[in-house]
Amino acid sequence: MDNKNDPCRICNDSLTSGFHFGTSCCIACAAFFRRTVKNQFTCNANNDCVISFEKKFTCRACRYNNCLKAGMRKDYIRKINSNYVPKQKCVNVDASRSIGTSSASSSSSESSPLVSPIIEKPIGKYSKILKRYPQELLQFYVKEVEKTIANRRKNSSKNILHAKSMNELMVITAHQSGSAMEACINCPGVSKLHQKDIRVLHKYFQFLNVWLDSVREYSMSDGAHYEIGVDRKLSEFIHQVRTTLGSSLANLKLNMYEYSAFKLFCIWNLKFHKTSTALKIVAQEHYEGVCSALRNYYETQTKMDDFEIAIRIGDITLQIVTVSDIYHDFIKLLLNSGISI
């Protein structure tokens, strides 16, 4: 069996997480293979590009070929996808009531956007840094997501995937700046951070409020038509977002509780800009707290067993790398268009 201390066979990352899809590799390459197995990429060079974890931008065609050469198998992905069958007994609680249940399917993305399982008794480790129990932390993000979605509907905010030019893209992004900063400032633990870290965090909040929420909306739209814009590079980027993250979210069918957890994971794990140790500590507290709350949610509100829970959380967290890659490519798109970040 492969040793977790061995380097990834695709990118030579020393932080190999284990055996994925038939070979020993890091979680980033595992996520890449999973989301690109149905896509076709073309190398712009000679099909011999260097694939390294130290490079933020790598050739997708050559990286995919490296995955196949390392022994990754497409049929393993199909086997894992067929293992998850939701068996939810989700609690449907009115915000003004203390108890009450009704059946709902975990595959339902948003049957009632303002509904969340109630916290009867705090469970898990209390975070002295965030001053929250895990469930309270996740509830905070559920409310933030609900607020953002409500504001998008109220203001008839345009889906970023409809942007036809870089100018239109920047206008749509700018409209989310204020709400992103408000969510950022109100986030548990942020008061302990310096302004430089808060500015970085705001970038992540703004990006995800615009792009992740738009992709979620797209994934629930039953294949809505999106016209190709005049900006070729922007159109290619939007197509990439739809075919990778959009397809993944459509398959996962996250409910509001899961989507809120996923959005939190992405906010605190993009890791593109340099940050302080303090921000990394706060980020770890958020990640561990919500992981605990999400597992508790599955254990208490669904009929899923430990194996199904592990598969479900794994499927969700694998998409963090997808979002991170999209953010990196988005920054590259801005820089190539002469837009400062």
| pLDDT band at residue 21 using 50, 70 and 90 as cut-offs | confident
| Measured distance CA(95)–CA(93) in Å, rounded | 6
Query: pLDDT tens digits, residue range 199-236?
Result: 999 999 999 999 999 999 988 876 555 565 567 899 99
Residue 293 burial (10 A CB sphere; 0-12, 13-18, 19+):
buried
CATH, domain 18-83, list 3.40.50.300, 3.30.50.10, 3.40.50.720, 3.40.50.1260: 3.30.50.10
Mean pLDDT, range 324-336, rounded to an integer: 93
Dihedral-angle region of residue 334 (phi above 0 means left; psi in -120 to 50 means alpha; beta otherwise): alpha
More confident residue, 175 or 230: 175
Tell me which CATH code domain 134-336 carries. Answer: 1.10.565.10
Mean pLDDT, range 21-33, rounded to an integer: 79
Residues 6+ apart with CB under 8 A from 293: 124, 134, 135, 137, 138, 261
- CATH 1.10.565.10 intervals, the chain: 134-336
Q: What is the reported pLDDT for 153?
A: 81
- CATH 3.30.50.10 intervals, the chain: 18-83
Query: pLDDT tens digits, residue range 73-126?
Result: 887 765 544 444 444 444 443 333 232 333 333 333 343 344 445 445 666 788
Query: Is residue 164 scored above 80 in pLDDT?
Result: yes
Axis-axis angle for helices 177-186, 195-207 (nearest 10): 120
